[in-house]
Amino acid sequence: MRRGNGQNYGVEPKYILMLCSCLCICLIFLSYKFSSVFEPLRNGINAFITPMQRGITVVGESVNDFFGKFDDVERLKAENETLREKIAELEYANDLLQTDLYDLELYKQLLELAETYVDYPTVGANIIAKDTSGYYATFTIDKGSDQGMAVDMNVIADNGLVGIITEVGKNYAIVRSIIDDNSYVSASILKTSDNCIVSGNLELLDTGFIEVRDISINSEVKNNYKVYTSSLSEKYLPDILIGYISNIQVEADGLSRKGYLTPVVDFEHLNTVLVITMLKESPITGEEEAN
């Protein structure tokens, strides 16, 4: 049954629809071509929304903490016991290592070894919004270009790689985590020095794994080997732990191996992250600086 709605807009809505669609399509092309033009718009709107998201997140976390306390008690008791045992073990191991360390220092001085492990400068940030569509694994943090953030900066937590900044505004930044389906990280396996690609895969979402591909067929990689970011990567800084490899198989074409990777970071319960405020220097930027 058609219901007359008696309202008169003056212009037929379908013409306005056409006009708006044309505007949207123009916007898509313009923002694709000249993304920097729209930065003030993004910044303006986000400057308004980000503080509210931050406020809500703080409230949400405290509510979550309050209810979390009750079921935490039992878990903590059990954890405490195992941790005590662990401490005893570690204390013993530590003693042994201390003596080794002394020797090591001595040898280092002798060999004048350069420091192999680089301590990257980091800044902490809170996660204030997450994508909830189920398709993406991206989130927003509460620091932006005003606090020194820049696109392509690496993000870590729990000593493992979380992801990379893909967009920066004045007071926010959007991070794409390594479990996102669009994420590809050039990595290497510690013990065998094999290069590989760590990619997010939405289809493995429920298993807690992500994918490792392009491992050499001749590789002697075994389960639980550590996977680090590779120095070959264009955007990721070297020697950041990503996770542990498992379930290694030969690829269907028989030319390479693939496997699953368990990330060290617990993405489900991530609230704060560390942003490495250092960008990977690519040869091109180095040249530009020289000029």
Partner 1 sequence: MFTAFIIAIEILAALLLQTAVFPYLEIAGIAPDLMMIVTVAAGYQKGRLPGMFTGLACGLLLDVTSSGVLGVYALFFLFIGYLNGLAKEYYVVNDTFLPLLLLAISELAFSALVYVFEFLIRGKLNVLFYLRRIMFPRVLYTVVAGIVLYKILDLIYRYLIVRHQEKQQAQQP
Number of residues that bind partner 1 (CB under 8 A): 54
Q: Are 208 and 196 in contact (CB under 8 A)?
A: no
Minimum CB separation of residue 30 from partner 1 in Å reads: 8
**CA nearest neighbour of 195 among 279, 256, 252:** 256
* Cα gap 201→211, rounded to integer Å: 6
- Total Cβ atoms within 10 A of residue 286: 9
Pairing of strands 195-199, 122-130: unpaired
Report if residue 208 touches partner 1, rule: CB under 8 A.
Answer: no
Report if residue 42 touches partner 1, rule: CB under 8 A.
Answer: yes
Report if residue 174 touches partner 1, rule: CB under 8 A.
Answer: yes
| DSSP string for residues in 47-98 | HHHHHHHHHHHHHHHHHHHHHHHHHHHHHHHHHHHHHHHHHHHHHHHHHHHH
Report if residue 134 touches partner 1, rule: CB under 8 A.
Answer: yes
Half-sphere exposure of 68 (CA within 13 A, CB side): 8
Report if residue 24 touches partner 1, rule: CB under 8 A.
Answer: yes
Residue 70 token pair: 């009750």
Report if residue 41 touches partner 1, rule: CB under 8 A.
Answer: yes
Q: Which is nearer to partner 1, 8 or 99 (CB)?
A: 8
Minimum CB separation of residue 175 from partner 1 in Å reads: 9
Report if residue 269 touches partner 1, rule: CB under 8 A.
Answer: no
Residues forming contacts to partner 1 in the complex (CB under 8 A) are 1-3, 5, 7, 9, 13-14, 16-17, 20-21, 24-28, 30-32, 35, 38, 41-42, 45-46, 49, 52-53, 56-57, 60, 64, 128-136, 138, 140, 166-167, 174, 176, 181-182, 202-203, 205-206
